[in-house]
Amino acid sequence: MKLRLMLWMLGLMLKRARRGNRRFRDALNDLQRMDWGIATEDLSIARHYRMTPAAIRTAPGLPVDLDLELRFRDSESALEILRRPTQRAFLEGLMDGRVRLVGDSRDLTRLQRLLSAMR
């Protein structure tokens, strides 16, 4: 339940950043489009985000046409890593198998750059 709420809140934070944060809007303009999702390996908890300069849409589930998916071993691993989403935490998660990346690693770098503009 905590992870589901955290992912929903992330959607609200992204929408708020798009409305009120010029750096984030500029970074999103440079990117043009980013479709990505977060889920547990068993897909019991999943949410995707479709981001364009015009709007950010979020919904439950993982469609097959996403650019990037972050799959976590379980909800506890996801909560631990997403609470402090540093590059080091993701790398350690990838190394020890708690996180699996589905898609191009360049998209992860682009996403991290975009999310860092939220601050």
Predicted confidence at residue 91, as pLDDT, reads 87
| pTM of this prediction exceeds 0.85 | yes
Task: Tell me how many domains the chain contains.
Answer: 1
- pLDDT, tens digit (0-9, with 9 covering 90-100), for 7-20: 999 999 999 999 99
Is the model more confident about 103 or about 84? 103
CATH number of the domain where residue 67 is located? 3.30.1050.10
- pLDDT, tens digit (0-9, with 9 covering 90-100), for 26-84: 999 999 999 999 999 999 999 999 999 999 999 999 999 999 999 999 999 999 999 88
Q: Which domain holds residue 99?
A: 2-116
- Name which of 10, 39, 35 is nearest 100 in CA terms: 39
- SS3 (DSSP) at 119: coil
